[in-house]
Amino acid sequence: MYASKLAARGDVWEIYSIWNIPGGEKISRYANTFIRLGWQHYTYDYTGSGDWNMLPLDINSAAEMQMLQMMGMDSIKDANQVYLTFEAYF
């Protein structure tokens, strides 16, 4: 799952660590390379995060959750995401 932190209708917490990779200066004096390992925790308050076409429904409301289930959709209360990236800037 990949979700935008800005599009989340709720809270997002993130912890990450960055390790610089030496040797970028040999290619260019402006080069910078590093590896990032991180974890994100999403806690949703409303449904429809990431989709501006969908009406936000309160996850804590039983009536709104019943309406969502009648549409054949399920809600997610929270999610976790672990990522590892290799980034290079020149």
Q: pLDDT band for position 7 (50/70/90)?
A: confident
Helix (H) or strand (E) holding 42, with range, is strand 32-44
- The better pLDDT of the pair 84, 74 is held by 84
For 24-33, 51-60, 78-87, which range has the lowest pLDDT when averaged over its residues?
Answer: 24-33
pTM: 0.72
- What was the pLDDT predicted at 42? 92
Model pLDDT, residue 16 = 97
Selection from 53, 61, 59 nearest residue 76 by Cα: 59
Summarised one tens digit per residue, pLDDT across range 22-55 is: 876 667 777 788 999 999 999 988 887 666 777 7
d(CA 34, CA 24): 9
Task: Give the pairing type, strands 32-44 and 78-89.
Answer: antiparallel
Average pLDDT, the chain: 83
Angle 20-24-30 (CA atoms, 0-180°, nearest 5)? Answer: 105
